[in-house]
Amino acid sequence: VQLQASGGGLVQVGGSLRLSCVASGFIFRMSDMGWYRQAPGKQRELVATITGGGSSMYADSVKGRFTISRDNAVNMVYLQLNSLKPEDTAVYYCCAKIRRSIIGPAEDYWGQGTLVTVSS
């Protein structure tokens, strides 16, 4: 199983980006999916998560600006970033809890990260 994130880039303050992440490989069931970010010199932090049923939660710092969504038919999770601020600059990582078989455990998988840079 692999997760591939894309959509990062350079954007000005107040701009928008849409990050995408696709999971590939043999997937029996994918439950929680999410996005984390890591700014230079800082620890990785949770940005947003979404359950298999579509319930979402957000870090306080991004509430009202970011929206997480998913498309279970194509094993994708998205993060819409609006009203971007310089402090949103970070590498964004997607993750997913995936069960590869009916009897196997659910394990966490991570994408490689995509860089978002917000210029002032």
Residues 65, 80: Cα–Cα separation, whole Å? 8
Q: What pLDDT score does 91 carry?
A: 98
Q: How confident is the model over 60-92, as pLDDT tens digits?
A: 999 999 999 999 999 999 999 999 999 999 999
Q: What pLDDT score does 38 carry?
A: 98
Q: What pLDDT score does 8 carry?
A: 97
What are the Cα distances from residue 53, in Å, to 32, 63, 68, 71, 73?
9, 20, 13, 11, 13
Residue ranges in the chain whose pLDDT is less than 50: none
Q: What pLDDT score does 42 carry?
A: 96
Q: What pLDDT score does 114 carry?
A: 98
Q: What pLDDT score does 68 carry?
A: 98
Residues 114, 90: Cα–Cα separation, whole Å? 8
